[in-house]
Structure 1
Amino acid sequence: MREIFTGLPWWVKWIAVPVIALVVFGGLIASVVGFVIGLLFKALVFVALVGGLIYLVRKFTASSSSRDW
């Protein structure tokens, strides 16, 4: 692989090739990043909902157990 880039200017290696890769694979990269961000957001919502449920259950069970019937 190094033999291919030997003798080429620096801007071909460090600017042109990455730009071409982004143009070709840009849609794939964007969809993967979007999927990962969406998954993290759903995981965060899940953790918040479970935490809220646990908080509410503990609050109501603690207040109902302190009352004597």
Structure 2
Amino acid sequence: MREIFAGLPWWVKWVAVPVIALVVFGSLIATVVGFVIGLLFKALIFVALIGGLIYIVRKFMSNSSSRSDW
């Protein structure tokens, strides 16, 4: 692979090849990044909902045990 790029100018290696790769694989990269961000967002929502549920249950349980002291 190094032999192929050995005689080429620097801008071909560092500008043209990445730009061509983004044009060719851009939609695939965007799909993968979108999927990962969506998955992380759903995981964050899941953790927040579970945390809220645990908070509400503990608050309800502590309130109901204090009522039973009457």
The structure 1 segments of at least 4 consecutive aligned residues displaced by more than 2 Å after TM superposition are none
Q: What residue ranges of structure 1 are gaps of 5+ in the alignment?
A: none
Q: Which residue of 2 aligns with 1:30?
A: 30
Distance (whole Å) between structure 2 residues aligned to residue 59 and residue 16 of structure 1: 60
Deviations 1:10-65 (A, max 9, x none): 10000000000000000000000000000000000000000000000000110100
| CA RMSD between the two structures | 0.8
Percent same amino acid among aligned pairs?
84
> After the TM superposition, which residues 5-44 of structure 1 pair with which residues of structure 2 at under 5 Å, given as runs?
5-44=5-44
TM-score w.r.t. structure 1 length? 0.96
Equivalences, count: 69
Distance (whole Å) between structure 2 residues aligned to residue 6 and residue 64 of structure 1: 76
TM-score w.r.t. structure 2 length? 0.95
Q: What residue ranges of structure 2 are gaps of 5+ in the alignment?
A: none
